Structure 1
């Protein structure tokens, strides 16, 4: 267990150092509200580091896989430094520091702590026994994972079930499609019904969206999309399965057992921590260079870290070893997403400038002539940008573009919030970088010997499967959300 704790400390020491430095700054004399980055003063070149980072994530693993695996953290950090240097050059060091602190403490830290807690706790749940990789069994695993995703998170559900699914199908000559559908359903679509489910919805929760809002408003659409995707999977898997050798399909039975059950209690504790922060509002906060850190959120994040370490302490090491558990997937996500949240700072500022900013055309594209939001445009723009910009910061981007007032968006603009939520969650499945768990599942599958498609190969697969679903939501909405 010590090695696991040490590995985690190495992964997150930069974030911890940043948090400590920011908290020290909080007690130093400074103005109550630091200067903010003026989006009207920025133009398109300030978005180039963000574009370069995304290009690096998409292309470098394909062209230079060994170099990328060894140096992705340095590459991501370089793009972050270019972003911060450009902000400092334009607006000064104090504005740059305030913007960086807000991105890290106000947005990124809670995001990565939740992912870390779910990844750690779920990684301690071991499903043993032999499961035959038949279309029926695969469909059951996907259905269970999809249903679990909004309760234990897409990260949690994916980490619990991906290895049993891989073991069940590893001997099949055609198994890539199984993992692709797993990413789409369990790591994305299934998480549409709660802030625990998918990172962008947790970002919305941090912005003031009610915990159960998506449950009440998106359950019909999610059931329809998930049901159709499961039906498509069964057809594809049956076609592949019937063409495989009979010997591959026959395995000795072995009862399925679930070990590490204490982690189920810890998952319940994670849920309770989130609900606590939603209902407890003491009105106490710390101001760090203009970023307001609410007490309930600090307590929640602290509890999540404690829960993760309890999982490491209470779970047998052999359970994690049997799971093939390693820190590399969450380490990669932590580093790359820290860079994404940094490099997107100027992009968000330009969008926040609205009609006076560089991206005024985007505001026009999602606004009707009478000034009301164009819900179909919000769905497609949020979704397509989520696929390539990552869905958590993209959700935040369009949330702010729609006004950023959670009360209004949950009320008179509920259709707009639903469109943003569906676009971010559903279309986050279109690429490996669309959603944090996509990275993890693909990395685990590759480590296990499954030949996963390249970035663009996966994009082709996912688009062929999902675009018809999105067109269905657009032209034949199952509820008056996009109409």
Structure 2
């Protein structure tokens, strides 16, 4: 790993040599000046996540943070040499301040508070009980966010199915439903819709305009899951654990339920109460975002202080999954920056041929293409900035998009939210659920194994969705 360390040191040396005050957005390189080759470090991160656990598992599990940092350095170092240290510093601080730190602060608050909510009672992972848990999580995701719902419910699902051998499909469908599709009805559900809300899309617009698509996908997936779990149960014929007396379901850790509510109020407040910008590492950041990050950290500390350690221990809570997400997503955010810049350049960038597919020769938008392009890119890029790219490509005017362009906006929204389920890195809760499940000693599909599940189950579903709605 000496190479990784040297690469990181070299990149940091270049960055630290640049004065912090030069990190204004104006110094960043225009996406029109970038070729698609700048996406190679991002591809390297993806392939490392996908292949190294299979080909060099021991090295990966001990050094994944260093490997991820090396790929980030392999983007930042050449970028600084090609465009100057000022531009590299601007890109780095933009990703750090505008995207990564707000993302991680929110994720940390949801992870910590969700891990302090314990669902007690008799939970036996029968097909009916599992389907009910997935349906409940799917419903909760639009209220408390896909991350919040995933963090609250994944551990009860793990405990309920501890006695079963055939259960990998349960965790896969959990990611499909609770971590993604369930968050499609409000801006609180998934970050892309929240960005749309910040851009002027009405709060309940997704509720009224995406409900049919949500109901179709959730209904089909829940029915398919129930049939698969019934078949798995019949083949396995598991012996449920002996239960002396049935204990009614109840929640412990109500203080964390209240703190989860506080997280959602902070998120909503950041959208409806814009404040003047302040400079952080040379980047203009709205004061409401700074206050929001501080609030998320305060909520995290309150959860740690107010939750009895015995409750977290009984819940199987550990910090390993959070650390893994923090390290890997740091590299993902940094290396995806040039890819998003190229996409933002639209018809003048390296992805011009791809962008041209979104409209007819007469300039009319094609909703089905918007759905599939937004979705395909959201499967591997962060779905929130991908949503913004196509939102702006469709005109960026919320008044028009909510009315005459409603079908196009619905296609963009569904593509970003639904197809985030196509890979582990399509949406942050996906990777967190995988990490938590594996932390508990359970088996999850490999990166490509999970993508194979998505191809077999989700892609045919999305084809039907296209034919019915777009």
SS at match of 2:152: helix
Paired residue for 2:3?
none
Correspondence 1:195 to 2:214 = no
Do 1:392 and 1:435's aligned partners in 2 also have CA atoms closer than 8 Å?
no
CA 1:411/1:105 → structure 2, altered by over 3 Å: closer, same or farther? farther
Match of 2:79 among 83, 87, 105: 87
User: Following the alignment from structure 1 to structure 2, what is the Cα–Cα distance between the partners of residues 421 and 146?
Assistant: 17
User: Following the alignment from structure 2 to structure 1, what is the Cα–Cα distance between the partners of residues 79 and 287?
Assistant: 30
User: Following the alignment from structure 2 to structure 1, what is the Cα–Cα distance between the partners of residues 216 and 299?
Assistant: 35
Correspondence 1:379 to 2:348 = no
1:325 CA drift (Å): 0.8
Paired residue for 2:271?
278
1:291 CA drift (Å): 3.5
Correspondence 1:45 to 2:34 = no
SS at match of 2:442: coil
Do 2:188 and 2:268's aligned partners in 1 also have CA atoms closer than 8 Å?
no
Do 1:111 and 1:202's aligned partners in 2 also have CA atoms closer than 8 Å?
no
User: Following the alignment from structure 1 to structure 2, what is the Cα–Cα distance between the partners of residues 262 and 43?
Assistant: 50
CA 1:243/1:375 → structure 2, altered by over 3 Å: closer, same or farther? same
Match of 1:263 among 248, 256, 261: 256
Deviates more, 1:207-216 or 1:134-143: 207-216
**CA-to-aligned-CA distance 1:26-73 (integer Å, 9 cap, x gap):** xx5x69763231222211221111111111111112222221121111
Do 2:371 and 2:415's aligned partners in 1 also have CA atoms closer than 8 Å?
yes
Correspondence 1:109 to 2:101 = yes
Paired residue for 1:134?
126
Deviates more, 1:284-293 or 1:376-385: 284-293
Aligned positions of 1:391-406 closer than 5 A: 391-404=383-396, 406=398
CA 1:425/1:445 → structure 2, altered by over 3 Å: closer, same or farther? same
Correspondence 1:155 to 2:147 = yes
Deviates more, 1:201-210 or 1:273-282: 201-210
CA 1:83/1:410 → structure 2, altered by over 3 Å: closer, same or farther? farther
Do 1:193 and 1:218's aligned partners in 2 also have CA atoms closer than 8 Å?
yes
User: Following the alignment from structure 2 to structure 1, what is the Cα–Cα distance between the partners of residues 238 and 350?
Assistant: 60
Match of 1:77 among 69, 77, 97: 69
Correspondence 1:175 to 2:167 = yes
User: Following the alignment from structure 2 to structure 1, what is the Cα–Cα distance between the partners of residues 66 and 439?
Assistant: 22
User: Following the alignment from structure 1 to structure 2, what is the Cα–Cα distance between the partners of residues 171 and 160?
Assistant: 20
Runs of 4+ deviating beyond 6 Å: none
Match of 2:380 among 388, 397, 413: 388
Do 1:42 and 1:350's aligned partners in 2 also have CA atoms closer than 8 Å?
yes
SS at match of 1:130: coil
Do 2:49 and 2:447's aligned partners in 1 also have CA atoms closer than 8 Å?
no
Aligned positions of 1:357-436 closer than 5 A: 357-404=349-396, 406=398, 409-436=401-428
SS at match of 2:27: coil
Alignment length (residue pairs): 453
CA 1:457/1:287 → structure 2, altered by over 3 Å: closer, same or farther? same
TM-score, normalised to structure 1, is: 0.87
Paired residue for 1:309?
301
SS at match of 1:215: helix
Deviates more, 1:369-378 or 1:212-221: 212-221
Structure 1: segments with no counterpart, 5+ residues: 1-16
SS at match of 2:210: helix
1:316 CA drift (Å): 0.8
Match of 1:56 among 48, 53, 59: 48
Do 1:34 and 1:290's aligned partners in 2 also have CA atoms closer than 8 Å?
no
1:272 CA drift (Å): 1.3
User: Following the alignment from structure 2 to structure 1, what is the Cα–Cα distance between the partners of residues 175 and 244?
Assistant: 28
1:290 CA drift (Å): 6.5
Paired residue for 1:292?
284
1:257 CA drift (Å): 2.7
CA 1:252/1:182 → structure 2, altered by over 3 Å: closer, same or farther? farther
User: Following the alignment from structure 1 to structure 2, what is the Cα–Cα distance between the partners of residues 341 and 439?
Assistant: 14
Deviates more, 1:206-215 or 1:262-271: 206-215
Structure 2: segments with no counterpart, 5+ residues: 1-11
**CA-to-aligned-CA distance 1:282-318 (integer Å, 9 cap, x gap):** 4x11145763211222222221221121111111111
Paired residue for 1:14?
none
SS at match of 2:179: coil
Paired residue for 1:453?
445
**CA-to-aligned-CA distance 1:226-274 (integer Å, 9 cap, x gap):** 1111111111111221233363476444413311011111111112112
Do 2:340 and 2:386's aligned partners in 1 also have CA atoms closer than 8 Å?
no
CA 1:62/1:32 → structure 2, altered by over 3 Å: closer, same or farther? closer
Paired residue for 2:158?
166
1:410 CA drift (Å): 4.1
**CA-to-aligned-CA distance 1:113-162 (integer Å, 9 cap, x gap):** 11111111111001123311111111111111111111112111111111
Paired residue for 2:467?
475
